[in-house]
Amino acid sequence: MTGTEAALDEIRLLGVGGVGRHGVFPEERREGQTFLVDVVMAVDTRAAAASDDLASTVDYAAAAREIVDFIEGEPVNLIETLANRIAEAMLSRTGVRSVDVTVHKPEAPVGVPYSDVQVHVRRSTDRQDADAPAPEPAIARAEPAPARAEPEHAQPDLDAAPEQPVPVVLALGGNVGDVRTTLRGVIADLTTTDGLTVEEISPLARTSAVLQPDAVAQPDYLNAVVLATTTLAPRELLDLAHHLEGTYGRQRTQRWGERTLDVDLIVYGTLTSTDPELTLPHPRANERAFVLVPWAQADPDAFLPGLGGGPVAALAETAPDRAGVRWLALDWLEDPAPRPAPAAAVSPSSPPSPPDGVPHLPQEAPAEPEDDVEEENLEDLELLAHGDEDSSEAAEPESDDLLPWVRNQPADEAPIAPRWQPLHRDE
C-alpha cells in the first residue's frame, strides 16, 4: 500500500470459502472445487469507533456473503478474473480506500505435489497503482501478417475399439452395504466380460471418505484397483462401469454422497481425452491415495501418464488424502472360512477358492463373514489393524510368509507409513 493507505485502518476477512466451477478444464467446470478468499480493506474506522454505529463502517458480514456469491456464481477461466471482480466489488463499498484480495485454489490440477495456488491483486480508489509504469505513447506500427491458424488438437475417437489389447486401470470403491461382497462380485463380473482380461487385483484398502468442507461425515470406503487389458472401446468400458454401478444399486441422487459402488476408468493405455464424459487419464487420479496406494501394491512399477502423472508409488506418498488410508487386506478375495479347530481335531482340507476366473491371491489367515460395511474389518483382522495384547497369539496367521494385512503403523489405527511392501514375520 502507499504511505497514505498504510496510515489507514484495516478490516480483514480471511478464509472466506465456497465451492466454485472456475477453471479451464472440463472437469473443473463439471465437478467444481474449493476456493478460499482473503480480503483486506483499508478504511478509516474513527467515525465508526466514535459512533459505535454499523452504518459508519463496512458491514463485513455482507461483504463475506458477496464474496461467496462470486465464488459460487458465474464460472470464469482464471482466478485472476475472479480476484479482480471481488476486488472491484469490495472497493465499491462506502469508506473502502483500497483492497487486497488473495484467491486460493488448493485443489488446482497442477500435476505435481503442492500446497496451494494463490493469486493476489491490489486495487485502490484512484484505480491506478502508483508503482505501475506510465502508458507508452501510441506509435503507428505496420500491421503484422495474419498468423496461420494452428489446427486444433484432434480428440480421440472414444468409440473406436483398439486393434490390439490395451492396458487399463479400473478403480473400485463403496461405503454402503456389504461392500466387500459387492467388490468381489464386480471382479467376478469383470473376469467374465468379453473383451476384458483381468491381469491383477490389488489389496483391499479401507480409506476415509474424501469430502467437501463442512460435509456430513460418511462411513469409510473400501477400495481396490483392477489391472486389465481390453479390446473394448473407451466408451464401451465406461458404459460397462456404469452398468456395474447400476447393477449393484448405485443411485446418483447426491454429488459426493455415499454409494454402494463406484467404478472409475483411471487409465486407458496412453490415451488422452478431455471429453466431458470421459476425461483420460482420470483428472484427479494423481491426488487420490485411495487409488494410488492399492495400485502401487498391485504394480510397484506403475506409471500414471498425462499431466500431473509420474511413478504411482511416489504419487501415493504425497497424495493429499494419504493419511486417510487406514489399512490394506491382502487376502480379501478368498471365501470366508471358519476358525481353525484345535490342532488335534484339524483334518487336512484344501484352502477356500476365490470366485471362478478370479486371479488367486496368497491364502492367509481365515476370516469371519461380515454383515455390512461396519463389520468389514473382521475380528481377527481388527486385531492386526488395531492391536490387542491379550489376543495377539490367537490372531497370528499360520503362514510363515506374509501377514494378511499390510500394517506398519502403531497399533492405534494411525495411517500406515508410506512403505508399499507387506510386512514379514521377522520385521
* Alpha carbon distance 160, 177 (integer Å): 36
Find the catalytic residue in 21, 22, 104, 105. 105
- Give the max Cα distance, the chain: 101
What value does the mean pLDDT of the chain take?
Answer: 75
CA nearest neighbour of 316 among 152, 203, 197: 203
Q: Which three cell numbers stand for residue 380?
A: 481377527
φ and ψ at residue 103, rounded to 5 degrees: -105, 125
Contacts of 372 (CB under 8 A, 6+ apart): 177, 178
- Sign of the C-alpha dihedral computed for residues 270, 271, 277 and 279 taken in this order: positive
Report how far residue 188's alpha carbon sits from residue 194's, in angstroms, rounded to the nearest whole number: 13
| Active site (annotated) includes residue 105 | yes
All cell numbers assigned to 280: 483420460
Show pLDDT as tens, one digit a residue, over the chain (427 residues): 555 555 789 999 998 988 899 998 887 888 788 899 999 999 999 988 999 988 889 998 999 999 999 999 999 999 999 999 999 999 999 889 999 999 999 888 876 667 889 999 999 886 544 444 444 444 444 455 454 444 445 678 899 999 999 999 999 999 888 999 999 999 999 999 999 999 999 999 998 887 766 667 888 899 999 999 999 999 999 999 999 999 998 876 666 667 889 899 999 998 988 888 888 899 888 888 999 999 999 999 999 987 778 899 999 988 888 888 888 888 888 765 554 444 443 333 444 445 555 554 444 444 444 444 344 433 333 333 333 333 333 333 333 333 334 433 333 433 333 333 333 333 3
257-270 pLDDT per residue, tens: 678 898 999 999 98
What is the structure's pLDDT at 384? Answer: 32
Query: What are the chain's domains?
Result: 9-124 (3.30.1130.10), 166-329 (3.30.70.560)
Q: How far apart are CA 37 and CA 121, in angstroms?
A: 11
CA 357 to chain centroid, in Å, comes to: 31
What is the C-alpha to C-alpha distance for residues 72 and 11, in angstroms, rounded to an integer? Answer: 23
**Which residues lie closer than 8 Å to 194 by C-beta, 6 or more apart?**
none
Give tens-digit pLDDT for 290-324.
999 999 999 999 999 877 788 999 999 888 888 88
Tell me if the pTM is above 0.95: no
